[in-house]
A and B are shown apart, each in its own frame.
Chain A
Amino acid sequence: DSGVTQTPKHLITATGQRVTLRCSPRSGDLSVYWYQQSLDQGLQFLIQYYNGEERAKGNILERFSAQQFPDLHSELNLSSLELGDSALYFCASSAPGAYNEQFFGPGTRLTVL
């Protein structure tokens, strides 16, 4: 158990819908990262937040957005869902000054039908 929690574990929805994935980092960690993992694209970095502020952006679509709240939990919002958005979405967290060593949550499996 890494200490990073993600909900829900599974999510099934239809094309065109909007979903929200939630992540709680390890106690004391200020950075939260979101990743998408799919068979064809592999593990892709989406976005990073540090203490409530966006720190880095990766291959995140404009239909996707994220935020980190004052209590440091984070949400990833996916809208206008397409079949190709079906994937595993991971959240990770890291402590300040920890060489970017990241601890991963168990993931949310999103299925878009």
Chain B
Amino acid sequence: AQSVTQLGSHVSVSEGALVLLRCNYSSSVPPYLFWYVQYPNQGLQLLLKYTTGATLVKGINGFEAEFKKSETSFHLTKPSAHMSDAAEYFCAVSVNSGYSTLTFGKGTMLLVSP
């Protein structure tokens, strides 16, 4: 079974500062990794995903994440935070199995101050 740990339920940054949201996963087989964003009163929207190939993946809105197998991590970054980035972010993992589902972390709320 796979699992996800997101460090920090809340992260606060200033507008223009680096955003770093941490995600560590546990999986006995090569994982597929995802970051989703949820704005207030909305559904989850896929930001980016890692399946195979290049370990640095770029997503929407200037976000990117790097798959580091040795550290079992998939941290989300953005060089410069914007007020519109304030939302909750979820890391998720699945594996290559017909019966696999997504396992989500508990989420990290990103707060952006002017």
Which A residues form the contact surface with B (CB < 8 A)? 2, 4, 33, 42-43, 45, 48, 55-56, 58, 90, 92, 99-107, 109
The A/B interface has a contact count, at CB < 8 Å, of 52
CA distance A36 to B4 in the complex (A): 18
- Residue in A closest to B107 when the chains form the complex, CB atoms: A42
Bound Cα distance A62, B34 (Å): 30
How many residues of chain B have a CB within 8 Å of chain A? 22
A104 touches B45 (CB 8 A): yes
List chain B residues, Cβ under 8 A from A109.
41
Which residues of A have CB within 8 Å of B36? 104
B90 on interface, CB distance cutoff 8 Å: yes
A-B contact pairs, 29 of them (CB 8 A): A2-B45, A33-B101, A33-B102, A42-B106, A42-B107, A43-B104, A43-B107, A45-B101, A45-B103, A45-B104, A48-B101, A56-B101, A90-B44, A92-B44, A99-B94, A99-B96, A100-B94, A100-B100, A100-B101, A100-B102, A101-B32, A101-B46, A101-B49, A104-B43, A104-B44, A104-B45, A106-B42, A106-B43, A107-B42
Give the distance in Å from the alpha carbon of A109 to the alpha carbon of B40 in the complex.
Answer: 12
Rounded to whole angstroms, the CA-CA distance of A106 and B42 in the bound complex is 5
Q: Please, which residues of chain B bring their CB within 8 A of the CB of A102?
A: 46, 102
Shortest CB–CB separation between residue B36 and chain A, in angstroms? Answer: 8
Measured in the bound complex, the distance between the Cα atoms of B44 and A107 in whole Å is 9
The one of A4, A99, A104, A106 in contact with B49, judged by C-beta atoms closer than 8 angstroms, is A99
Q: When chains A and B are docked, how far (Å) is the Cα of A75 from the Cα of B64?
A: 35
Q: Which of B38-89 contact A (CB under 8 A)?
A: 41-46, 49, 51
Find the A residue at minimum CB distance from B34.
Answer: A101
